[in-house]
Chain A
Amino acid sequence: MKPVDFDYVKPSDLNEVLQTLNLLKDKAKILSGGQSLLPVLNMRLARPEVVVDINEVKELNHLVVENDYIKMGAGVRHSFAEQSAIMKDYLPLLAKCIPYIGHSQIRNRGTVIGSIVHADPSAEIPLVALILDGHLELVSEEDKRTVPLSEFFYGYMMTDLQPEEMVTSLNIPVRSIPVGGSRGTSFIEMARREGDFALVAAAAQLEIDKEGFIYDVRIGLGGVGPAPIRLEEVENFLQQKEPTEDLFIEASQLIKNYLEVDEDPFVPKEYREHVAFRFVQRVLSEALADAKTSYERMS
């Protein structure tokens, strides 16, 4: 199990990366953390002619708050994001999902953006970035565009990224907590072993106003389709209501109408559906409990 022979290049600035991509198009592959690409290369599922290592491009290492966005460069590794104070303060949900990604050895190398581009349907970061209204900055030698996560995933490991493009930044809007209210988050997943890809993952962020009603809610599921999904019907149903367990049970019923879980040889469809259904309820309860404790902490 060895990769095919390829040329390895390590540009030290972005322009050089983009020139190389423009010249070679799909003959080239970007190497970031390598935690998905190297397995693929070792198994010869990809046979690039040139591997373009972006680890020396220092301008991609930013993790900053700027113009009401948290901006994360392509160089930000899982382990760095996991420990960053900015992440804990502004994006607690993203901070919470990172420990579920693989193992420490994987998180020490793998990058947040690499995980989005790889687009595994059960990956944690794509799900969380999607429900937090994240968008990506895509850059090529000739063009620059932003794509919301909601338009980035086409299907199983397929995305809107063009061969001459690379992703330079993931930007997630900063939301302020409603005055006198609180925010809670929760991330849960079911995997066969610790660190394996999730069979089903669920994420929720709940904001409660000062009267105790739901001010804003975001919820999504991973692993139940070709790409992570945001449960907009559930969100709309919950909006402005008083959060209770019964309400969450009712909300979880809604997904039965439209959840289309793929059949796979290892996990029965019914099992995934059942877990998804339970997780919607549980992730909401846990987010509510978290909102209550953070409210107590503040008052």
Chain B
Amino acid sequence: MSNHKVQIEVNGKNIEAEVSGRTHLADFLRNNLNLTGTHIGCEHGVCGCCTVLMDEEPIRSCIILAVQADGHKIKTVEGMSEINQETGKRELSNIQKAFWEGHGLQCGFCTPGMLLTTEALLAENPDPTDQEIREALSGNICRCTGYLQIVEAVKLAAKMNKNSTLVYLPEEV
């Protein structure tokens, strides 16, 4: 019943909007901002495919109200690509390239959540072991890959972050 004015920084852009109290963040991102890269699977906190970063920390966007993000920074999968300083072109991030290169996805439904959880993991722990990767991704369910290529992709991303010459196609998106 109640409506609220919110100011949220989404992928670096300041967004001002009005939301109803009961709208959760995943719905707000998808329906109000058209950022449909954030997927909704279970809608009760179990599957992890709605994972976004709030103030750099991974959270489930289906179990936080949009109005609770007021004054905070949100990053979705749409905000992961970066401008290459040398070419000036927009490119996938290393993590995205590594998932592409390492076949870390099949249907792609879980992928946005996997990518953002990985981003938070590598920011905190640039060189994780297999065990640490599996532990970090334990809250993200994938029904296709069997996880093996996902773990490999995360390791590849860690390598690419350290060695900038390890650049894979595609260059442009």
Is B106 on the interface with A (CB-CB < 8 A)? Answer: no
Residues of A within 8 A of B (CB): 1-10, 31, 34-35, 38-39, 41-43, 51, 53, 55, 79, 102-106, 108-109, 193-195
Chain B residues in 8 Å Cβ range of A35: 45, 60, 63
Given contacts A8-B2, A103-B139, A195-B139, whether A34 and B65 have CB atoms under 8 Å apart is yes
Is B136 on the interface with A (CB-CB < 8 A)? Answer: yes
A108 B58 Cβ-Cβ under 8 A: yes
Given contacts A4-B22, A5-B20, whether A106 and B67 have CB atoms under 8 Å apart is no
A106 to B139, CA, bound (A): 9
Per a CB cutoff under 8 Å, which of A43, A79, A102 touches B139?
A: A102
Per a CB cutoff under 8 Å, which of B21, B62, B140 touches A6?
A: B21
Chosen A-B contacts, 21 in total, with CB atoms closer than 8 Å, are A1-B44, A2-B27, A5-B21, A6-B1, A7-B1, A7-B21, A8-B22, A8-B65, A9-B2, A38-B24, A38-B64, A42-B44, A42-B63, A55-B68, A103-B139, A103-B140, A104-B139, A105-B48, A105-B117, A108-B57, A109-B64
Q: Whose C-beta in chain A lies nearest to the C-beta of B3? A: A8
Chain A residues in 8 Å Cβ range of B138: 103, 193-195
CB distance from B7 to the nearest CB of A (A): 14
CB distance from B75 to the nearest CB of A (A): 14
Q: Whose C-beta in chain A lies nearest to the C-beta of B52? A: A105
Is B152 on the interface with A (CB-CB < 8 A)? Answer: no
Chain B interface mostly helix, strand, loop or mixed? mixed
For the complex, count residues of B whose C-beta is within 8 A of A: 31
Is B86 on the interface with A (CB-CB < 8 A)? Answer: no
CB distance from A49 to the nearest CB of B (A): 8
Is B4 on the interface with A (CB-CB < 8 A)? Answer: yes
CB distance from A52 to the nearest CB of B (A): 11
Chain A residues in 8 Å Cβ range of B117: 104-105
Residues of B within 8 A of A (CB): 1-2, 4, 20-22, 24, 27, 43-45, 48, 51, 57-60, 62-65, 67-68, 117, 120, 134-136, 138-140
Chain A interface mostly helix, strand, loop or mixed? loop
A39 B1 Cβ-Cβ under 8 A: no
B60 A105 Cβ-Cβ under 8 A: yes
Chain B residues in 8 Å Cβ range of A51: 21, 65
Per a CB cutoff under 8 Å, which of B2, B63, B65, B136 touches A39?
A: B63
A105 B65 Cβ-Cβ under 8 A: no
A8 to B1, CA, bound (A): 8
Chain A residues in 8 Å Cβ range of B135: 194
CB distance from B39 to the nearest CB of A (A): 14
Q: Whose C-beta in chain A lies nearest to the C-beta of B21? A: A8
Chain A residues in 8 Å Cβ range of B64: 34, 38, 109
B22 A5 Cβ-Cβ under 8 A: yes
Further 9 A-B residue pairs, CB within 8 A, beyond A38-B62, A104-B139, A105-B60 = A3-B22, A8-B67, A35-B60, A38-B24, A38-B65, A42-B44, A103-B140, A106-B139, A109-B59
A42 B43 Cβ-Cβ under 8 A: yes
Per a CB cutoff under 8 Å, which of A10, A42, A102 touches B62?
A: A42
Chain A residues in 8 Å Cβ range of B2: 6-9
B59 A105 Cβ-Cβ under 8 A: yes
A34 B63 Cβ-Cβ under 8 A: yes
CB distance from A57 to the nearest CB of B (A): 14
Chain A residues in 8 Å Cβ range of B21: 5-8, 51
A117 to B117, CA, bound (A): 28
Per a CB cutoff under 8 Å, which of B20, B22, B51, B67 touches A105?
A: B51
Q: Which 7 A-B pairs have CB atoms at the shortest separation, nearest pair first?
A: A103-B139, A8-B21, A38-B63, A39-B44, A194-B138, A7-B2, A3-B22
